[in-house]
Structure 1
Amino acid sequence: MANEVTIPLLPCRSIDDVGDFYTMLGFTVTHRQERPNHYLCVQREDLQLHFFGVPDLDPERSYGSCLVFVPDVSALYRSFADEMRARHGKVLLGGIPRVTRPRKRKNTGQASGFSVVDPGGNWIRIFQAATADETDDRDVEEAAAPASRLARTLENAIVLGDSKGDAAQAAKILDGALARADDEPDVTDVVQALVYRAELAMRLGDLARVEELLTRVRATALDDDQRVLLADVLASVEELDSARGA
């Protein structure tokens, strides 16, 4: 067979809250019902998501999740971020609902991706789709581990924070590595770790820590080449600052 379609069914506490959130992101509500059960369907181009109501659901404890593979992860993130700014004046980087920034993860073969955590606590995990001419993952050698200890710790923290959703443990291991950051020869590794740690602090609701970390980033001397290399990371500093102050 070919052209099969799979649609995830995800729990939520309120179909109205979920519907409002996804319409903000550019989805259309294609079906809504309250009887015999609460049920909602949304669609954005070829992406369809269905939701069923669970009134006593705790979004923080939800195990709802699905994978979405798209042709351009960065473009979709920018679109979602723009819609959030238009509605809220900032990108939602902390609490529920929220979005994580696109980044590569070592547990996905360095595939770039980000997650949308919706009002039901569902993790919509969005990744770059492999192109037809890319080699099968089984034939690709494992990417070499980063040279610096801090960069290796950052990779592990990203897996904990962005894949497992354990922001507290990710922050803990990154704090230990950053405490020895003065020994790191590559300042770009330090900046990337500081910015990700600030994003974790935002998720944990520690706004004072966010400010402290962003201050350290801004105080770090970077040459022009380093600023080009870190362009996306430095752009996230402004997003975090806006989210913190709004």
Structure 2
Amino acid sequence: MTPPRVIAMLPCGDIDEISAFFDVLGFAVTYRQVRPNPYVVVGGHGFELHYYGMPGHVPEASHSTCGVIVEDTGEIFEAFAAGLRAKYGRLPVAGFPRITRPRPRKNVGGVTGFSLVDPAGNWIRFFRDRAEPAEPGSPLRESMLNAIVLADSKGDVDQAAKILRGAIARAATGDDAMAEAQDFLGELDERRAGQSDAT
């Protein structure tokens, strides 16, 4: 007996916009129709994503998401990042589309993950298929892990930046997480600026 298969179907305002976006990331259209309803399937990197056209859909109102389990989040992130840099001249971290960097996720047992938010506002969440052993960390590292959950999983960039900024100010001199925390705070500030520009 063939095992069941689950297919996430994500909404978008324009299937051609979705096709063009995923082409940049190394996907190809494997199915497309416009009647009786717009529908497109893009395939690449060993999996497919299905999209249906929804009149009036706007990315800001999207609440749709799906998960993709991969062997190596770093490898697929780098492939996506190269395509995004080629298209946009930089890695988009705010607005639509955008991408987060692979980081351990405290809310899923330390499994490394990142999120790709497509032009339609759907969150495509990539997770490694196994967790790395967690090492005890300083208060700064713990605050950074909490900020990652808030920003990259919940989408609360303002609260993540507030927590991380306070933790950096309180951190002990020479904390081994300082450089990584400052880099992440810089990324959060860039995302916050991008959110302000979009409103």
TM-score when normalising by structure 2 = 0.89
1:92-103 superposed matches below 5 A: 92-103=92-103
For the residue of structure 2 that corresponds to 1:188, the secondary structure is coil
More helix, by proportion: 1
Alignment partners' CA distance in 1, 2:40 and 2:135: 44
Specify the alignment match of 1:175 in structure 2.
165
Any conservation in 2 of the 1:95–1:204 contact (CA below 8 Å)? no
What are the residue-to-residue correspondences of 1:5-16 with 2, within 5 Å? 5-16=5-16
Q: Larger strand proportion, structure 1 or 2?
A: 2
Alignment gaps of 5+ in structure 2: none
Residue of structure 2 aligned with 1:166, choices 149, 156, 161: 156
State the structure with more CA Rg. 1
Give 1:90 shift.
1.8
Q: Relative contact order: is structure 1 or structure 2 higher (C-alpha 8 Å, sep ≥ 6)?
A: 2
Provide the C-alpha distance between the structure 2 equivalents of 1:104 and 1:39, rounded to a whole number of angstroms: 34
Cα 1:46–1:200 change in 2 (3 A) is: same
Tell me the distance in 2 between the aligned counterparts of 1:58 and 1:166: 19
Following the alignment from structure 2 to structure 1, what is the Cα–Cα distance between the partners of residues 144 and 45? 35
1:32, distance to aligned residue in structure 2 (A): 1.8
Equivalent positions of 1:48-63 (< 5 A) are 48-63=48-63
Matched, 1:87 2:82: no
| Counterpart residue type for residue 203 of structure 1 | R
Report if aligned partners of 2:95, 2:194 keep a CA contact under 8 Å in 1.
no
Does residue 32 of structure 2 align to residue 32 of structure 1? yes
Q: CA deviation at 1:143?
A: 4.5
Match of 1:227 in 2: none
Taking the aligned partners of 1:185 and 1:18, their CA distance within structure 2 comes to 47
Q: In structure 2, the residue corresponding to 1:41 is in which secondary structure?
A: strand
Alpha-carbon distance in 2 for matches of 1:172, 1:55:
37
Say if 2:143 and 2:164, in contact at 8 Å, map to a contact too.
Answer: yes
1:64-105 deviation digits (Å, cap 9, x = unpaired): 111101122111111111112222222222211011111101
Paired AA for residue 186 in structure 2: A
Contact map agreement 2:94 2:194 (CA 8 A) in 1: no
Q: CA RMSD in A?
A: 2.2
Structure-1 residue corresponding to 2:175: 187
Consecutive unaligned residues of structure 1, counting only runs of 5 or more, are 131-136, 208-246
Q: SS at the partner of 1:57? A: coil
